[in-house]
Amino acid sequence: MGIFRMKYLLDTSIYSQPLRRKPEQNVLAHWAFADDSSCCISVVTKAEVEWGLLKAPSKWRDKQYREVLLNRVQILQSTQEIWDVFSQMKARQLQTGQPIGDLDLLIAATARHHGLQLATLNVRDFRRIEGLSWVDWSK
Q: Which CATH architecture has domain 3-136?
A: 3-Layer(aba) Sandwich (3.40)
CA distances from 111 to 20, 22, 52, 62, 67 (A): 24, 27, 22, 27, 26
pLDDT at 29: 97
- CA–CA distances in Å: residue 96 to residues 71, 82, 100, 103, 116: 38, 21, 11, 19, 24
Amino acid code (one letter) for 10 = L
d(CA 93, CA 76): 24
**For residues 10 and 16, what is the distance between their CA atoms, to the nearest angstrom?**
9
Q: What is the pLDDT of residue 68?
A: 95
Distance CA 116, CA 38 (A): 10
Distance set, CA 60 to CA 27, 107, 111 (Å): 20, 27, 30
Reading the chain (139 residues) residue by residue, the pLDDT tens digits are 455 678 999 999 999 999 999 999 999 999 999 999 999 999 999 999 999 999 999 999 999 999 999 999 999 999 999 999 999 999 999 999 989 999 999 999 999 999 999 999 999 999 999 999 999 999 9
SS3 content of the chain, % helix, strand, coil (to 5): 60, 10, 30
pLDDT at 73: 97
Domain limits, the chain? 3-136
